[in-house]
Amino acid sequence: MSRNTLAPAEQVRISAVTHGGLGVARLASGKVVFVRGGLPGDVAEIEALRGRKRHAEARLIQLVEESPLRVPPRCAHQSVCGGCPLQGLSYPAQLSEKESMVRDAWRRIGGLEPAVVDAILPARDTFFYRNKMEFGFSDLAWHPQGRESGELEPFGLGQHVPGVHSKVFNLLECHLQSAFTAPILAEVRRFVEEEGGGRDAVWHWRGHTGYWRFVVIREGRGTGERMVNLVTSTAGDARADALAARLVERFGTEISTIVNTVQGGPGQVATGWTDRVLHGDGLLREKLGGLLFELAPQAFFQTHTEQAERLFALVAEHLGPVEGDLLDLYCGTGAIALLMAGQARRIHGVELVPEAVDSARRNARLNGLEERVSFHCGDVLELLKAGELPRPEAVVVDPPRAGLHPKVVAQLLDLAPRRLVYVSCNPATQARDAALLAEGGYTPTRLSPVDMFPHTFHVEAVATFEKR
């Protein structure tokens, strides 16, 4: 037995997947183990590693019996890429797992069972659906066959290897964003190798040095526009201009705009401040639900446009007609507020990121909705505490993964809207907040899981709460 091992190797049947994409199984001792690479229905030989009292992680030694729910993955990188942990599971089985994740979280964490729980809304496009992808540079390239495999690549540009965060494998294909992604990355890689400084110039994980950090590619699915964002550690370097010129020369009008974002901090984040527009106007246009959106490089926008349209139609259905004012909290570039404009007297969006608020205001003007919708820049809690927002009849919240701070829930309870619609990308935090809302006098009346991201473990859910 290795030092970290909890028990001898054991055969288990994987019964489900977690929200993190790990297979779930139970040891003969009753302890729950999480198995990377295990899918529901697999029988696997595993070795449980040390963990908490009631559950632990386990290493998959070998698959003894493949699940009948398995399908051959499409992507050549499936075994090293953490992007699509469920690609080897049939789509109906993915949907059923995701629906269970939402129901289980509400039951287990929230202790709640809404009166109506809809079947999960599937995605129509299950491949090539993402309108935005981030690809990282690392001085440490991952070599799938090991370092003895022949010629070693000088650096990595692509996705992280799960569990080995310093290493990036060179991505040659991706089935989540359009087929246009791979040639752009190949050209960037060639440029950096030949003219951009090579391995010395890419981000060094340990020393936090190096110029090239990320390439972010965004597409307007409804407009055909494309934005390439070169994220570098410092500003004003001519290498970014030279790469932009090369991309324009190679791809012409297929790339609408190229920008340079600067992120000098040690954290692995592909956002920062936009230094310069290197080509085009620095904006990406997208169509959704009959409206036009103009997006600045740092502005949040739902990453599966077609499914976001269906998600927002569902939000509108949950919301129903609102005679008074509506608050759209955590509004990003204003998609919900603008799409619901015909459904309430007046709508007030609140968003922390100034660039997103600028985009939201521009989008309101662009669609002739500035009389009905206004946007406020700031922290939701601070703005609610300041009492500067009008008392609404209904509220929509769409917070980041961490969900609502308990103080925000308390402010919402004080505000006492008749109805609250909670859009979430994390069933655990939604269920936690749902319990607080229920305690505070709100009944969850409908819960609708939505699959925004096929082949990943992510699941969205829309919930309605009515004031008792």
Ligand X SMILES: C[S@@+](CC[C@H](N)C(=O)[O-])C[C@H]1O[C@@H](n2cnc3c(N)ncnc32)[C@H](O)[C@@H]1O
Which residues are known catalytic residues? 425
Select the residue whose beta carbon is closest to ligand X and give its number.
332
- Single out the segment in contact with ligand X by CB under 6 A; choices: 146-154, 244-252, 278-286, 348-356: 348-356
Site string (261-280) toward ligand X, x via CB under 6 A = --------------------
- 95 contributes a contact to ligand X by CB under 6 A: no
Choose the stretch contacting ligand X; rule: CB under 6 A; options: 21-29, 191-199, 207-215, 347-355. 347-355
Does 353 bind ligand X (CB under 6 A)? Our answer is yes
Contact 75, 173 (CB under 8 A): yes
> Does residue number 336 form part of the binding site for ligand X (CB under 6 A)?
yes
Position among 137, 330, 422, 453 found at the interface with ligand X (CB under 6 A): 330
Q: Which is nearer to ligand X, 215 or 380 (CB)?
A: 380
| Continuous segment of H or E residues that includes residue 188 | helix 181-194
Residues with Cβ within 8 Å of 41's Cβ and at least 6 positions away in sequence, in order, are: 13, 14, 67, 68, 69, 70, 93
Q: Out of 170, 256, 302, 307, point to the residue binding ligand X (CB under 6 A).
A: 302
Smallest separation, CB 329 to ligand X (Å): 7
What is the C-alpha separation between 370 and 364, in angstroms, rounded? 5
Candidates 43-51, 73-81, 208-216, 296-304; binding stretch for ligand X (CB under 6 A): 296-304
Considering only CA atoms, which of 6, 29, 26, 28 is closest in space to residue 16? 26
Task: List Cα–Cα distances, 324 to 131, 362, 392, in angstroms.
Answer: 34, 24, 7
C-alpha 330 chain-centroid distance: 15
| Nearest-approach distance from CB 410 to ligand X, in angstroms | 15
Distances (CA, A) of 427 to 104, 166, 302: 9, 29, 17
Q: Are strands 442-450 and 284-288 parallel, antiparallel or unpaired?
A: unpaired
Q: Which is nearer to ligand X, 56 or 133 (CB)?
A: 133
Q: Is 352 in the site for ligand X (CB under 6 A)?
A: yes
- Closest distance of CB 141 from ligand X, Å: 32
What distance in Å separates the CA atoms of residue 392 and residue 390, rounded to the nearest whole number?
A: 6
Tokens found for residue 260: 């340079």
Which residues bind to ligand X, rule: CB under 6 A?
300-302, 330-333, 335-336, 350-353, 356, 379-380, 398-400
